[in-house]
Chains A and B, each alone.
Chain A
Amino acid sequence: MLFNSLTFVVFFGLVLALHNAPLDWKTKKTNLLIASYLFYAAWNPPFVVLLWLSTVLDWNIAKRLFSEQRLSRRRMLLAVSVAVNLGLLGYFKYGEFLMENFVALLSLAGVAYQAPEWNIILPVGISFYTFQTMAYSLDVYLKRAEPADSFLDFALFVTFFPQLVAGPIVRPTHLLPQFAVPRKATGRQLAWGLGLIVLGLFQKIVVADGLLSPVADAAFNSDKLLNPLDAWLGTLAFSGQIFSDFAGYSTTAIGVALTLGFGLPDNFRYPYASIGFSDFWRRWHISLSSWLRDYLYIPLGGNRKNEFRTYANLMTTMLLGGLWHGASWTFVVWGGLHGLFLAAERWLVGRFGKLGIWSRWPARIFLALLTYALVNITWVFFRAQDFATAWRMITSMLSFPSDGEKVLTSIYVLETVLTIGAMLVVHWRMRNRDLHQVVAATPAWLVGALLGIMMTLILITQGGSDAFIYFQF
């Protein structure tokens, strides 16, 4: 079920009413669990079985991991959890990709092999809930957390509908304790949660789908070299689209959870005001980057080994992070580029980071713009459907072809310049602030007027119920 659908409005209204009805806490949690399964089943009911499988498996394995003292047995139990979770992910998400590469390798070796047609549908949000349940088993194995006391709480942790299909990826130690005690939103939480829902839907429906998506599509769907302005504006539009789409989902998810009385962590902190790539990853998809840090980068050794291992761990983490997003080499290149930029930054900071010039504002603005430009280069590989498109876009952006085709109409140029300009100003001004503090310092009538305008724009944009981009990951 999509947040940006009429069905969700009714569904959410019913869930909210039931959650505020005079029922006991266990019944309310059961209601939330059933609602979450319904929410997921809206796409493809049989895939709910995958959620049940993950739930039952990790519940039992974590219990045994906790009581088991023998290291070999503990390792084996963890391996079963990881193998089943990643096995399901691999089969549904990477099966076709692996088969294609296998066929290509055989072809290189001179063996002509016709692979059977791969007709497996990707379960929505499988990468998100797989990482969330794996974190539970891993935390118990690493003795960072104890297993949950209640199966109902754990099932709800795996399935909690606001963040089930596109995050934020929540840690068991963050969400399970909230299910242990009765929670209901206060009036102020409800009002703020609804405000966040309006903001999130505005980002998705108006900014991502209405303003920027058609521009990015026009540029990336062209099969010709583009005029540099069109190539850059198409890429900038995608950078705004992907942020507004994904941050819009996260903001809505946080708002929905808050109206029910639950707190979810931030997933974005104005990433286009980042100064450097390590700053970017502290602001972009925070729940994934911290997951990769805690369950991949640090277990690999992080920066505790020698210099070479540190760089290797960084690259491994980012390459796998790229692959997490999608079964395609373009995503691997996207992750690889981020790894390279992170490694380059680490090397440069080690040698020149202490120079006083970097604390002055012209240098900081220069670094922020450089970071943004490089992030945009990486987005080309993220958005392009294949390498031919990516190279065409990169060539158009960097070689300034004089005969490049113009594909963007006047209104598209205008929309992109104004939207991206406004987005950069907002990110820069909000770089070191929190939204709730800014809202508190703004006159109530102005906050109300802005909310009213956003609500109106959402309604008159009449979004076509386009799925969120990150659902496919």
Chain B
Amino acid sequence: MRSSTSSSNASEFDRPLPGRPMGASWLVAVLVCVLMIGAWEMYWRGQGATPAYRNSEGLWAIQRRRIDAGDGHRQVLTGSSRTLFNLNLDTWEKVSGERPIQLALEGTSPLGVLESLAEDPHFTGQALVGVAPGLFYSGFEYRKKALTQFDKESWSQWLGQQISMRIEPFFAFYEPDFALFTVLERQPLPDREGVQNELDVRKLSNTISVDRNTQMWSRVETDPAYADIAQRTWADGFKPIEERDAEWIEKSLETRKTQIDRAVAAVETLRARGVEVIFVQHPVEGHYAVAEPMYHPRDKTWDVLIERSGAIGLHWQDHPEMQGYRLPEWSHMSASEAQRYTETLLRLIEQERARNKEQE
């Protein structure tokens, strides 16, 4: 017998329901949820967290799109976390009169961003490229998804980002580092024999404005035990280069050459369009002061990059003004130091520009 597709007796398709109303249950549910979320929020505020913007792919994509929407003439900052933490946008704006676009991505080589800028005819400003040797010369890209999101962002991703940005400034717990299972994974359970537990990078920064002005989280400055965890994370799994086999070293040398080639090519393209590129190697201490020269000796990396690219280069070892800052976990500056450092760096950039002009 044929079934009808236009039956008027559509109630036969109703789903069965619980045999009593659920109003009281929903009342309890909302109450429980509000109380538990309130407790969770208070816990994180007690840990020193304050509401901030999530340093998400979508937030980065918004800044990147500015270049194609009339801001292509501006100063762009790109690099890794050191450029993100150490350069304060408010200070930069106060000193130079123009607010730069912050495109640095933590744990990520800036070359992908630099190439993207080189390919984009809308970009006609200046590019400051932070060089963190371990990332720059290895090409490692922890946050590559940001570039993918910029290229292929769907309208629902865009809308999701817009909604999220309306919520973020109100909740301290709404932060990837405080996600439940991230927190659980970091609990000091006894190690399982034979399993290497790698230390994860924990929350180090706060993004305090929608244009990604980012500064070190105050707890890293004020809580030595927390700074110690960060230091241990950086040094975790470190192996002196003598312990590396020849094949590994050969491969890393090849990769290094490729990265320098990529940088030089991007600078040439940008310079042909009149874009100024400045490379900056920010100061480091402790583990990084040992590991970086060991794996990326300056004469084989930085000096080659600056010579081949012909770009302005500011290396912390060359300028006493770039030294002596407080780096609580060896790699990044505290918020107050970042303001002082930004002023200094701008002054040095102007000096380098003037020197270059004189030479011309």
Does any Cβ of B come within 8 Å of A90's Cβ? Answer: no
Q: Contact: A263 with B40, CB < 8 Å?
A: no
Q: Which of B71-79, B102-110, B185-193, B257-265 contacts A (4 or more CB under 8 A)?
A: B185-193
Q: Contact: A6 with B160, CB < 8 Å?
A: yes
Chain B: minimal CB distance from A156 (Å): 12
Chain B: minimal CB distance from A135 (Å): 11
Find B29's partner among A42, A411, A451 (CB 8 Å cutoff). A451
Q: Contact: B6 with A1, CB < 8 Å?
A: no
A413, closest chain B residue (CB): B192
Does any Cβ of B come within 8 Å of A457's Cβ? Answer: yes
Q: Which of A70-78, A180-188, A316-324, A374-382 contacts B (4 or more CB under 8 A)?
A: A180-188
Q: Contact: B32 with A187, CB < 8 Å?
A: no
Q: Contact: A210 with B13, CB < 8 Å?
A: no
In the complex, chain A residues whose CB is within 8 Å of the CB of B16: 434, 436
Binary per-residue interface labels of chain B (169-205) against chain A in the complex, 1 for a CB within 8 Å, 0 otherwise: 0000111101111001101011111110100000000
Residues of A whose CB lies within 8 Å of any CB of B are: 1-2, 5-10, 41-44, 139, 143-150, 153, 172-178, 180-181, 183, 187-189, 191-192, 194-195, 198, 206, 210-211, 214, 227, 254, 258, 262-264, 405-411, 413-415, 434, 436-437, 439-440, 444-445, 447-449, 451-453, 455-457, 459-462, 465
Chain A: minimal CB distance from B166 (Å): 9
Per the bound structure, the CA–CA distance linking A437 and B13 in Å amounts to: 18
In the complex, besides A153-B6, A406-B194, 12 extra interface pairs with C-beta distance below 8 angstroms are A9-B163, A10-B163, A173-B5, A188-B17, A188-B21, A206-B180, A264-B15, A406-B192, A449-B32, A452-B31, A452-B36, A465-B160
Chain B: minimal CB distance from A222 (Å): 12
Binary per-residue interface labels of chain B (18-31) against chain A in the complex, 1 for a CB within 8 Å, 0 otherwise: 11111111111111
Find A456's partner among B24, B27, B32, B159 (CB 8 Å cutoff). B32
Per the bound structure, the CA–CA distance linking A191 and B15 in Å amounts to: 13
Per the bound structure, the CA–CA distance linking A172 and B23 in Å amounts to: 34
User: With A6-B160, A444-B24 known to touch, is A180 a contact of B189 (CB < 8 Å)?
Assistant: no
Q: Contact: B17 with A192, CB < 8 Å?
A: yes
Q: Contact: A460 with B40, CB < 8 Å?
A: yes
A227, closest chain B residue (CB): B194
Per the bound structure, the CA–CA distance linking A453 and B180 in Å amounts to: 13
In the complex, chain B residues whose CB is within 8 Å of the CB of A457: 180
In the complex, chain A residues whose CB is within 8 Å of the CB of B7: 177, 180
In the complex, chain B residues whose CB is within 8 Å of the CB of A413: 192
Q: Contact: B37 with A459, CB < 8 Å?
A: yes
Per the bound structure, the CA–CA distance linking A10 and B159 in Å amounts to: 9
User: With A254-B15, A461-B179, A462-B174 known to touch, is A146 a contact of B195 (CB < 8 Å)?
Assistant: no
Chain B: minimal CB distance from A180 (Å): 5
Q: Contact: B176 with A462, CB < 8 Å?
A: yes
Q: Contact: B18 with A439, CB < 8 Å?
A: yes
Find B20's partner among A42, A172, A178, A440 (CB 8 Å cutoff). A440
Find A263's partner among B6, B8, B13 (CB 8 Å cutoff). B13
Q: Contact: B5 with A177, CB < 8 Å?
A: yes
Q: Contact: B33 with A461, CB < 8 Å?
A: no
Find A409's partner among B17, B178, B195 (CB 8 Å cutoff). B195
Does any Cβ of A come within 8 Å of B47's Cβ? Answer: no
Does any Cβ of A come within 8 Å of B359's Cβ? Answer: no
Chain A: minimal CB distance from B153 (Å): 11
Q: Contact: B192 with A410, CB < 8 Å?
A: yes
Residues of B whose CB lies within 8 Å of any CB of A are: 2-10, 13-33, 36-37, 40, 154-157, 159-160, 163-164, 167, 173-176, 178-181, 184-185, 187, 189-195, 197
Q: Contact: A210 with B10, CB < 8 Å?
A: no
In the complex, chain A residues whose CB is within 8 Å of the CB of B173: 460
Q: Contact: B6 with A462, CB < 8 Å?
A: no
Q: Contact: A6 with B164, CB < 8 Å?
A: yes
Find B6's partner among A10, A180, A411, A448 (CB 8 Å cutoff). A180
Per the bound structure, the CA–CA distance linking A197 and B10 in Å amounts to: 23
Q: Contact: A460 with B3, CB < 8 Å?
A: no
In the complex, chain A residues whose CB is within 8 Å of the CB of B19: 436-437, 440
Per the bound structure, the CA–CA distance linking A403 and B191 in Å amounts to: 19
Find A146's partner among B6, B174, B180, B184 (CB 8 Å cutoff). B6
Per the bound structure, the CA–CA distance linking A263 and B194 in Å amounts to: 52
Per the bound structure, the CA–CA distance linking A291 and B155 in Å amounts to: 34
Chain A: minimal CB distance from B253 (Å): 25
In the complex, chain A residues whose CB is within 8 Å of the CB of B14: 189, 263
Per the bound structure, the CA–CA distance linking A156 and B12 in Å amounts to: 20
Chain B: minimal CB distance from A7 (Å): 4
Residue picked from B14, B23, B189, B191, most chain A C-beta under 10 Å: B14
Q: Contact: A410 with B191, CB < 8 Å?
A: yes
Chain A: minimal CB distance from B183 (Å): 9
Q: Contact: A448 with B29, CB < 8 Å?
A: yes
B1, closest chain A residue (CB): A144
B190, closest chain A residue (CB): A410
In the complex, chain A residues whose CB is within 8 Å of the CB of B17: 188-189, 192, 436
In the complex, chain B residues whose CB is within 8 Å of the CB of A415: 184
Q: Contact: B184 with A411, CB < 8 Å?
A: yes
In the complex, chain A residues whose CB is within 8 Å of the CB of B157: 7
Q: Contact: A445 with B25, CB < 8 Å?
A: yes
A439, closest chain B residue (CB): B18
Q: Contact: A449 with B18, CB < 8 Å?
A: no
Chain A: minimal CB distance from B343 (Å): 37
Per the bound structure, the CA–CA distance linking A214 and B179 in Å amounts to: 14
Q: Contact: B36 with A176, CB < 8 Å?
A: no
Q: Contact: A176 with B6, CB < 8 Å?
A: yes
Per the bound structure, the CA–CA distance linking A434 and B19 in Å amounts to: 12
Chain B: minimal CB distance from A181 (Å): 5
